[in-house]
Amino acid sequence: MSLENKVAIVTGGTSGIGRETAIQFASAGAKVVIAGRREEEGNAVVETIVKAGGTAMFVQTDIADEGQVKNLIEETVQNYGRLDIAFNNAGVEMTGPLVDMTEADYRKTFDINVLGVILSMKYEIPAMLKSGGGSIINTSSIAGHVGMAGASVYVASKHAVEGITKSAALELAGQGIRINAVAPAAIETDMIDRFAGKEGAEGREQLAAVHPVGRLGKASEVAKAVIYLASEATSFTTGISLPVDGGWLAK
């Protein structure tokens, strides 16, 4: 699953799944553009990649801001000449009873999880068409496949990502751009630390037990699935959502 001579963008690339995927993209031979709001963390990911012999740059980006997303794509093409792969990974969690959700909660969740994906694809697609095609992978969630009590707004946003992915895949199927999603369950990231507590916390142990495999997933495991979808190994695959869920959706 070589990505040699490919150029890849990773949004939300400063931590968690995005960080790990950016590093693995580079290890597979891609030039990587890390996008995110946190400059210090983004530059640290670049440094890690460069020290390992890879090529990377950071572009500070709020994916809910159209001007900044446009700039991200322009900076990528200006520096590396093309765009082949995009991992639209930036996202935010939102939990709590539906009756307690505010308009601000909704706007924040949908601006990042849904509008961010739409804006990213809006500018990624023309850049990919200029270089003959490409692969887009959106971060969904098992919450894009099933309901979850106490997370209605988040679940709604991830169902939206599933719909966007399928619809865009059909639009671009004949033009050399494949669009898929990856759907993780609970993965060991900062987001899970906030949601269920750090290692050893009762809530975290309970969450791990819900997975048939009996543990939380690792960011590296999701990254491998993303590389698979980005690579020529899936050249006949578009419009799917690939669960990386320890068996959660099989229940």
Active site positions, annotated: 154
Q: In whole angstroms, give the CA distance from residue 37 to residue 105.
A: 19
Closest CA to 95 of 192, 19, 211: 192
Query: Distance between alpha carbon 159 and the CA centroid of its chain, in Å?
Result: 15
Single-letter code of the amino acid located at 46: V
Distance CA 196, CA 202 (A): 8
Strands 241-244 and 31-36: unpaired
Q: In what order do the strands lie in the sheet with 7-11?
A: 55-60, 31-36, 7-11, 85-88, 134-139, 177-184, 241-244
Contact 73, 63 (CB under 8 A): no
What tokens appear for 183 in the block? 């759907």
Using CA atoms, how far residue 71 sits from 35, 68, 148, in Å, is: 11, 5, 36
